[in-house]
Amino acid sequence: MSTEKRPDALINAEGLRFDGRRPDELRPIQMEVGVLKSADGSASIRQGKTYILAAVYGPRELHPRHLTLNDRAYLRCVYRMATFSVSDRKRPAPSRREREISMVIANALEPALFLEDFPKAVVDVFIQVIQADGGTRCAAINAASLALADAGIPMRSLVPAVAVGKADGTLIVDLGDEEDKYGEGDIPLAVLPKTGEITLLQQDGSFTREELLEAVQLGVNACKYLHELQKDALKRAYAKRTPEDDDEDDEDDEDFEDDLETDLGESDLMEDE
């Protein structure tokens, strides 16, 4: 559980953070792919005490229909915190913060996807924060991009994300809850590793121009490491799959194609062929 009081110092005399990390050190991170049976794709992430599940469904028929996009699939992200995910009970009704973070996550993921391959359809991404201890939007992007890959959604690349912040005047990577609450600011960012394109950049608190540039560089470097963890998690999941799983997947793919034909009408499928 998070401490309610500000720690005496966020950075100690040795230059270490109050949880013992170096300024550029990430929390222990575990990512796992294919954790939910009912989803088309799924992933979990533990980043320090932050724990998040992501489930992907689709591409599938979009309801309500007025949201349909004629030239691409609609990427619908829903970020929610469980009522028990924070020390104060989180009210179950969707908050403005959750709605904003859902949009921010969709914007960060969209450039990585070939949504134009699935006009009129929807790709649903459900993100559930089980335990929040800082950095949930970035951890959610890490998990959601893995879940999208697990669902077989065509992607340009995975999307690693991390927050860089400032505590006691020092730039720090991957903020925990206390650093987020009592630090001087944070900059969540997400990167497409192949091109270096930054798909999420927010800022809370004040940073000088030099600090901002250094923070982005620290974040991009951390994302390279997170990208390796993401690839390892995918490889582990696929190494575990048996030939029988592949046969089942092939059958599922055929079912999916039949469903898509029914859902979208043949003409939509023909456009791509």
Q: Which residues bind ligand UDP (CB under 6 A)?
A: 86, 90, 97, 132-137, 163, 177, 180, 188
Q: Which residues contact 10 (CB under 8 A, 6 or more apart)?
A: 17, 18, 167, 168, 172, 178, 179, 182, 183
Cβ atoms 128, 80 nearer than 8 A:
yes
Q: Residue 58 or residue 188: which is nearer to ligand UDP going by CB?
A: 188
Output the smallest distance, CB 248 to ligand UDP, in A: 36
Q: Residue 151 or residue 222: which is nearer to ligand UDP going by CB?
A: 222
How many helices (H) and strands (E) the chain has is answered by: 6, 10
Cβ atoms 102, 77 nearer than 8 A:
yes
In single-letter form, the type of residue at position 14 comes to: E
Q: Residue 47 or residue 153: which is nearer to ligand UDP going by CB?
A: 47
Q: Which residues contact 128 (CB under 8 A, 6 or more apart)?
A: 52, 53, 54, 55, 80, 82
Residue with nearest beta carbon to ligand UDP: 136
Long-range contacts of residues 105-108, Cβ cutoff 8 Å, at least 24 apart = 105/77, 105/79, 105/137, 105/140, 105/141, 105/144, 106/75, 106/76, 106/77, 107/199, 107/200, 108/141, 108/159, 108/161, 108/190, 108/199, 108/200
For residues 26 and 175, give the distance between their C-alpha atoms in angstroms, rounded to a whole number: 8
Q: Residue 33 or residue 132: which is nearer to ligand UDP going by CB?
A: 132
